Amino acid sequence: MSKPVLEVAEVVRRFGGAFLDTYGATLSLAQKAVLRALALCRTSALGGHLEQCDNPGCSFQRPAYNSCRNRHCPKCQSLAKARWICARQQQLLPVVYFHVVFTLPETLARLALQNKAVIYNLLFQTTAATLRSIAADPKHLGAEIGFFAILHTWGQQLTHHPHLHCVVPGGGLSPDGQRWISCPQSNTGKHFFLSVKVLSARFRRLFADALLEAFCNAPQ
């Protein structure tokens, strides 16, 4: 496989300084440490070792720089990512899965830049409450569901765009925990999770209420 023309580490080395000059005040110490790790990854700064072909009769050798081993580095953690995905696939239920996204509006996205812990915690909490409460309602599904959510803070155009990606099984356990309740099917025969309009309305109300409460309880 040929080497990519441009790698993440090279982008960080070229433009990391200018990025920190502009946005450094909004980054945490952990985020700055990640940028430093990516910039130093597989360079002389981290030392190196000698690689040698182990085929009989081949004495080919080449020097190689050590990796940063940071969990955010796409080059260092590709194998770990593949192993993680394989392990998660073994845990999947034999049911339909849905991808549900909850997004903050642009006005609140700007607020999140200066209040990351508060806003992102509220995003997780109100998303979970929205999914569980609507799914538990007998008018919609009447089941206890499980799911996992992953926070993304940037969009495809690399603009600040906080949102949660949720992966939800197409059903859940009945209130007595004795049977599986599958999500309904549409007129076309395809499964659908829950009403988008109902989920959106509940999420907006819960998040607005939680945000107001956090503002009122914030130290003055």
Residue 128 within any structural domain of the chain: yes
pLDDT value at residue 203: 96
97 and 36 inside one domain: no
My answer on whether 70 and 46 are in the same domain is: yes
Question: Residues 78, 96: one domain?
Answer: no
Span 184-204, pLDDT tens digits? 776 556 767 888 999 999 999
Q: CB under 8 Å to 174, separation ≥6 — which residues?
A: 142, 143, 144, 180, 181
The pTM assigned to this predicted structure is 0.68
Three-state secondary-structure class, residue 23: helix
Vertex 3 angle, CA 36 and 15, to 5°:
35
**Dihedral, 138, 144, 145, 149 alpha carbons, nearest 10:** 110
Phi/psi of residue 10, nearest 5 degrees: -65, -40
Residues 20-48 have pLDDT tens digits of 999 998 888 999 999 999 999 888 888 88
Query: Residue 64: inside a domain, yes or no?
Result: yes
Q: Is the dihedral angle over the CA atoms 34, 36, 41, 46 positive or is it negative?
A: negative
Total domains, the chain: 2
Choose the final residue of a domain: 88, 120, 142: 88
- Based on the fold, state whether residues 70 and 106 are members of the same structural domain: no
DSSP H or E stretch at residue 61: strand 61-65
Q: How far is the C-alpha of 192 from the C-alpha of 182, rounded, in Å?
A: 10
Whether 133 and 54 map to the same domain: the answer is: no
Domain boundary among 34, 54, 88: 88
- Range ranked top by mean pLDDT from 29-43, 55-69, 156-170, 181-195: 29-43
Average pLDDT of the segment spanning 111-135: 93
Residue 1 lies in a domain: no
The answer on pLDDT for 91 being more than 80 is: yes
* Res 200: pLDDT: 94
